[in-house]
Structure 1
Amino acid sequence: MSVHFLRVFTALVLIPPLVLFVLKAPLWAFFVVSALCGGHAFREWWEMTAFPRGLFWVGTLVYFLAFLLGSKSLFLAFWVLFLGPALYFLWRFEKEVFLSQFGRAISGLCYLFLGFFSLASIPTYPHGRLYLLYLLLLIFSADTGAYYGGRLFGRHSFFPTISPKKTWEGFWSGTFLATVLGFIFSRKLGLFGAREALLVSFVLSVLAPLGDLLESMVKRACGVKDSGWILPGHGGLLDRVDALIFITPLFYGYLSGGIF
């Protein structure tokens, strides 16, 4: 069975229940599922970046604690994310590895918390479930357009030292498809005005591949092909959501009125 077939089959199986969940699940379920997915993603991050097991368990504990505190104060949540690893190294300090291990743990905790907490928060807004569907459509269409556009038209490498198979033709194919579908979807549902729909869809479509490239840099630095094996044809959970959790905080900030 080819990887491509597994990739398509997995997507077809998962998309209908995912859409049903977004439309019908209670708000607490978004919080719980996002927290659990983030916890699993942190495990994949730990397995890739190889910091001590004790630091992983401390990091997992403060990750879930930060999720509980985040709805009250994001400042407090991020402070807790730093507190846990700091306390661990007060107990197990080794100057030769401190900066490396502390950096690997903190970068994963902050990156994953910010992405998954934003995912859990968007449905709490008016029309939040539709905004989340819009964001998922944007990510899936950008990924699909880039994959097939690259296979059909790809000639020029897109950051070859990081991800040799990606091409500029694939990037612009994904950007075009995601911008068009995002514009149509958001206009049909009345989420944005015409200019806003075009601008938001384009900006998010351009930035989404950076999340994939960021994870590719981590995997290349760690010498691994995939972050895990949980999704047939797609690798690990991080391999599937890297672009999503990269741009979701930006979109959440936009909905909050904090940017643009």
Structure 2
Amino acid sequence: MHLRPPGLPGRYVALGDSFTEGVGDPSRILPNGVRGWADRVAERLAKSAPGWEYANLAIRSKRLRHIAAEQLGPALAMEPTLITLYAGGNDIMDAGTNVVELLSSYERLVAPLSATGARLLLFTGYDVEVSPALRLLRKRNHAYNDGVRAIAERHGAVLVDFWAMDAYRDRRMWAADRLHMSKAGHKYMAAQVLDLLGVRHSLTPKEWDPAPRQTLREWEYAQRRWVHDWVLPLAQRKLRRVTLGDHLQPRWSEPVRVPPKGGLRRLVKAAR
């Protein structure tokens, strides 16, 4: 692991799927139309120590095998000092996934990242009880999370234990699809990562009044709307074997120097 003196900039490379790409946190300016927790982490790093560089290779819908095949090589070539990896969540939702085999593949992905000496952060997945329709996947998800914890310990990685974050029990931390974090959820995740890195920041948890109780009619309408808007399209994509990430490119495919003032949006505006 890189033992860098406090206050020195480095190079942060983020790998993964929609979780790290930033889906659920829309932006009219930034690449792929999203922002997300990783962008926020990069911007706070740059404010803390100007000169930080950042690449985000994550693309929505990618399975672990895609991340290993498409993102690992470029990430290693960038010689990062900080790496975050979230992978396997989409595999968990696929029918027939063998968790033992998945974790074996996951560790084969982690090993070369760990060997770089960069500070490596690994994430557990959130408890899929967030959506009642996904309760059948809980046992598989728990086994995966236990495996990630063990792999993080074996490879000296920092564990970001998403599964244990009670703040996400509030439905307002989730986007309308109930699978991705909302803007508030991404901000909260950025704060958790920065805290683990020991980076000072001003991101504070959203303070909400208690969520209003839904009537039975409101709940039924919300369920029907969710199934129509999100569940059925997802099922149709699975049948057609297409994903929302098929024609997307990484948001920040090469390291960019993050402006300490104005952040990544300043880069995009300057390019325009």
TM-score (norm 2): 0.26
Please identify which structure carries the higher strand content: 2
Please identify which structure carries the higher helix content: 1
